[in-house]
Amino acid sequence: MAQINLLPWREARRQELKKDFLVTAALMLALGAGILLLGDRVVNAQIDNQKARNSYLKENIKELDKAVAEIRELQKRRNQLIDRMRVIQELQGNRPIIVRVLDQLVRTVPDGVFYTSLSTKGKTISIAGIAESNNRVSSLMRRLDASDWLASPNLDKVKAAPAYGDQANTFNLTVKIQAPASEEETGGS
C-alpha cells in the first residue's frame, strides 16, 4: 500500500485559512473603524447643529429679555402716571370740600375760643386752641357736631392756662371731615 503524506497539503490549507481569516479580520476592523468614524461624524454634526440652534435661541432670548425689560419700564411709568393722575383728580375733587370745611371751622367757633393750630391727616382735623372757659370748649364741640361738614368731635386734652385768664384753658381736639349726603350724591358740585 502506498503512503500519501497529507501534511504539506494540510499545512497549506491551514495557511490559506489563516490568511483568509486575517484578511477578513482586517476588513472587519477597517469596516468597524469606518462605521465608528462615520458615526462620530454624524454625532458631531448633530452636536454642532444643536449648538447652532442653542446659540440662535440664546440670541433671541436676549432680545426678548430686552423687550420685556422695556415693557416693564413702560408699565412702571404708566402706573406712575396713573397714580399721579389719580392724586390730581382727588385734589381737584377735594378742592371745594376743603374750602367748605375751612368755612365750617370758622362758622363754628364761638366767642371766646381761639385756634392756635390746625392740622389734617386724611379725613381727620386736629385742632389746638385756647378757650376762655370750659363752657366755651363744650359749645365749640356741640357746634362742630351740629355742622353738616364735620362729625365726631373728640376732646383729647384740656389744660388750665392762667396766662390767658382765670378760667382759660388750652385744648386739643380732633374732628372728622364728612360731606353732607346731598353733596356726596351730586358729586360735590
On whether residue 179 sits in a domain, the answer given is yes
On whether residue 136 sits in a domain, the answer given is yes
Is the per-residue pLDDT at 27 higher than 80?
yes
On whether residue 154 sits in a domain, the answer given is yes
Task: Name every residue whose Cβ is closer than 8 Å to that of residue 123 and which is 6 or more positions away in sequence.
Answer: 176, 177, 178
CATH value at residue 170: 3.30.1360.100
pLDDT tens readout for residues 155-168? 888 888 888 778 88
Query: Residue 165, SS3?
Result: coil
pLDDT tens readout for residues 56-71? 999 999 999 999 999 9
Count CB-CB contacts under 10 A for residue 132. 19
* pLDDT band, very low/low/confident/very high, at 189 (cuts 50, 70, 90): very low
Q: Record the pTM.
A: 0.48
pLDDT tens readout for residues 35-60? 999 999 999 999 999 999 999 999 99
Amino acid at 49: N
Provide the number of structural domains found in the chain. 1
The helix or strand, by DSSP H or E, that contains position 15, with its residue range, turns out to be helix 7-107
Q: Which position has the higher pLDDT, 62 or 148?
A: 62
* Residues 140 and 107: beta-carbon distance below 8 Å: no
